[in-house]
Structure 1
Amino acid sequence: MTERISALVEQRPLGDTGVTVSPIIAGAAGWRRREDGSGSSRQESLELAAAMAGDGVVTTIDTANNYGYGDSERRIAQVLAQLGDEAGRLRVQTKADREPGTDDFSAPQMRRSLEQSMERLGVDHLPMVYLHDPENTTWELAMADDGPVAALVAAREEGLIGALGISGGPAELLARFVGTGHFQSVITHNRFTLVDRSADALLTLAAEAGLGVLNAAPYGGGLLTSWPVRTTRYAYGTAPEAMLRAVDRIGRVCDEAGVPLAAAALQWSLRDPRITGTIVGMERLEDYTRTLDLAAVPIDDSLWTAIEAVELDVSTWQDTPRG
């Protein structure tokens, strides 16, 4: 294990949750995708989890009630059971979801979501739960007495869950939830990358408030995994031309420095002191080893300076700044 990777072994406290996370977190959305049958096989998931448990570098698994319509959580439980005692080195965090097909975010649905997750994972307590994708309801419904926030706060008070976080898309909306004081951690995705800084203010707000801060999708869903680019996908759509030009400029300066674009994309998140952990989608052992390899690439300050000098078109960001 290299010195750079050894520095990532130390677990970090996730705000005041009482939970610790690894600086790199394995995103398990693709461990099983029931709707099309894709994703990793059970054996591939086992090999990945065994490597994580053995190395002690990536020890946190991120999932959600609706990932694979529940099959992600089921696969995690199966794999951890196969690992036996070694599974004790791994921790799972999940998310409470709306009802598929109806966007029901009611209090009863939140309770059902928690109960389903506990049943699938084979536990009677969830240490870390996030309210997932609240942009799919209204602020008024989310904060109502019979809404999802109240239901999850009550579940925390009951001891059904240990700590509560907020996870979603629009950074300004997440900041509004952070401001309620109900949440102890926040997950943002696709909004703090080499080419999109939508979540910059959110990261500062959450960190200064003492929350745990998790940054997901540092590769923007695929665009930042290689240069020249192999895909124009960013987040859930196609990257606009101005963003592609920025990626090309950043890719060129990285190539001149002998650094893979993906290494810079990953370490852009890992190096930020506001970020507690970075969630990277991993389905197979090869994803894990590649992630560690990219995290170990030495990057000089001069390259970061050159990357920061590349002008970005804010209109291409997921959340275009106002004014």
Structure 2
Amino acid sequence: MSKRSFEKRRVGTTGLEVTTLGLGGASLAGIFSAVPEDQARATVRHALESGITYVDTAPQYGLGRSEHLVGEVVRGAHPRPVISTKVGRLLRPVSPERQDKGNWIDPLPFDQHYDYSYDGVMRSFEDSLQRLGLERVDILYVHDIGVATHGVEGNRPLWKQLEGGGYRALRELRDGGVIKAIGLGVNEWEVLMDAFALGDWDVFLLAGRYTLLEQTALDPFLSTCLDRRASVVIGGPFNSGILVGGDTFNYAKASEDVVRKVRAIEAVCREFGVALPAAALQFPLTHPAVCNVLPGPRSPEELDGILAWWDAPIPHELWTTLAERGLLAEGTPLPPASSTIS
């Protein structure tokens, strides 16, 4: 098959460039529902064959399964895509009957232990290389630090680990040329503002907080990214499914207020003959800090649907109408009338 021609954007001030569409590795590892391993591998392979050059994974995803599956495919890829994985969780073997599987269906037989310390970051990085079967990755994210995951009291000692040594480990890896970029991968923008106080970062993976439905990250976070020359990868562009016809928002049943807003946005999309998921997928790239949108298809067929939404033309008037009707936050950047954003 012929590869598509995707726009590429630079990651922060690094030499890395990524296609504006990426592949997220969480769903492939079987969150909420099982994904056969052959299907997962075929999805990664299809993404690379389609021209996508950025793949994200993490130890948490399937408790090691995602890294194994991604590594099996990308090891044979030429050229190799940009790979990101995450630190902050160490995996320890456990018998299946005692395992806390969380929302993972058929994960590998490990439990996760949070560790954001210097030694924990270094150990997590080395473990990920072994699971991937690779000699390097390009981007390391600090995964799920913050009150949304750990609560106020639970996060304090973990933040002290990052502040006291974890950040230094990341800087040593990046400044020594072992990796090319460092950041955080979270679901809340507030902790990213705290991260700026620790030092400089290249890229943040933020899920769900800058989408067609929600622009809470617009200011001060995204404006600070522009000032600090940090890029943003947007995960969860469909807000857990509500923007692709589901009833889930932020991993829970959507409230009536959320449903009403989605219906209003969808009505505008219908006026311009645009599918709601297409607008949702392309929207984040209207912001100049955003370098990539990261959906998580479960199969080659789902990826083909995403590619069709990605290719869908979006009239400039759709964005301006959303803004005029108060369906986008004030100050949301809109693309120039003559531009395409995918």
**TM-score over 0.5 for the pair:** yes
For 1:130, the aligned partner's letter is Y
Partner of 1:210: 229
Q: 1:12 aligns with which of 9, 12, 30?
A: 9
Confirm or deny: 8 A CA contact 1:243 1:312 kept in the other structure.
Answer: no
Q: Distance in 2 between matches of 1:150 and 1:238?
A: 40
Post-superposition Cα deviations, 1:66-108, rounded to whole Å, max 9, x if no partner, equal 1111110001112234xx3x44242211111234554332222
Matches within 5 A, 1:62-101: 62-81=56-75, 84=76, 86-99=77-90, 101=112
Partner of 1:164: 182
For 1:44, the aligned partner's letter is Q
Tell me the SS of whatever aligns to 2:239: coil
Q: 2:279 aligns with which of 260, 264, 282?
A: 264
Partner of 1:21: 18
Residues 161, 39 of structure 1: CA spacing in aligned structure 2 closer, same or farther, 3 A cutoff? farther
Matches within 5 A, 1:128-277: 128-135=139-146, 136=150, 137-138=155-156, 140-146=159-165, 148-201=166-219, 202-226=221-245, 231-277=246-292
Confirm or deny: 8 A CA contact 2:115 2:161 kept in the other structure.
Answer: no
Spell out structure 1 runs of 4+ moving beyond 6 A.
none
Partner of 1:295: 310
Confirm or deny: 8 A CA contact 1:45 1:284 kept in the other structure.
Answer: yes
For 1:25, the aligned partner's letter is G
Q: Distance in 1 between matches of 2:278 and 2:44?
A: 22
Partner of 1:46: 41
Q: Distance in 2 between matches of 1:259 and 1:9?
A: 20
Residues 214, 134 of structure 1: CA spacing in aligned structure 2 closer, same or farther, 3 A cutoff? same
Partner of 1:318: none
Partner of 2:125: 114
Q: Distance in 2 between matches of 1:98 and 1:54?
A: 31
User: Shift in Å at residue 190 of structure 1?
Assistant: 0.5
For 2:281, the aligned partner's letter is L
Gaps of 5+ in 1: 315-323
Tell me the SS of whatever aligns to 1:277: strand
CA RMSD of aligned residues (A): 2.5
User: Shift in Å at residue 158 of structure 1?
Assistant: 4.2
Confirm or deny: 8 A CA contact 1:63 1:95 kept in the other structure.
Answer: yes
Residues 222, 79 of structure 1: CA spacing in aligned structure 2 closer, same or farther, 3 A cutoff? same
Q: Distance in 2 between matches of 1:97 and 1:16?
A: 24
For 1:31, the aligned partner's letter is L
User: Shift in Å at residue 18 of structure 1?
Assistant: 2.1
For 1:223, the aligned partner's letter is I
Confirm or deny: 8 A CA contact 1:45 1:79 kept in the other structure.
Answer: no
Of residues 59-68 and 173-182 in structure 1, the stretch that sits farther from structure 2 once superposed is 173-182
Tell me the SS of whatever aligns to 1:276: strand
Percent of paired sites with the same residue: 28
Partner of 1:321: none
Tell me the SS of whatever aligns to 2:6: coil
Post-superposition Cα deviations, 1:190-222, rounded to whole Å, max 9, x if no partner, equal 001122111112122112321121111110010
Of residues 304-313 and 235-244 in structure 1, the stretch that sits farther from structure 2 once superposed is 304-313
Q: Distance in 2 between matches of 1:313 and 1:257?
A: 17
Q: Distance in 1 between matches of 2:238 and 2:53?
A: 20
Q: Distance in 1 between matches of 2:57 and 2:112?
A: 19
Post-superposition Cα deviations, 1:7-38, rounded to whole Å, max 9, x if no partner, equal x52332211232221100100112223x87x4
Gaps of 5+ in 2: 91-110, 330-342
For 1:98, the aligned partner's letter is R
For 2:38, the aligned partner's letter is Q
Q: Distance in 2 between matches of 1:122 and 1:281?
A: 22
User: Shift in Å at residue 51 of structure 1?
Assistant: 2.5
Of residues 98-107 and 179-188 in structure 1, the stretch that sits farther from structure 2 once superposed is 98-107
For 2:172, the aligned partner's letter is A
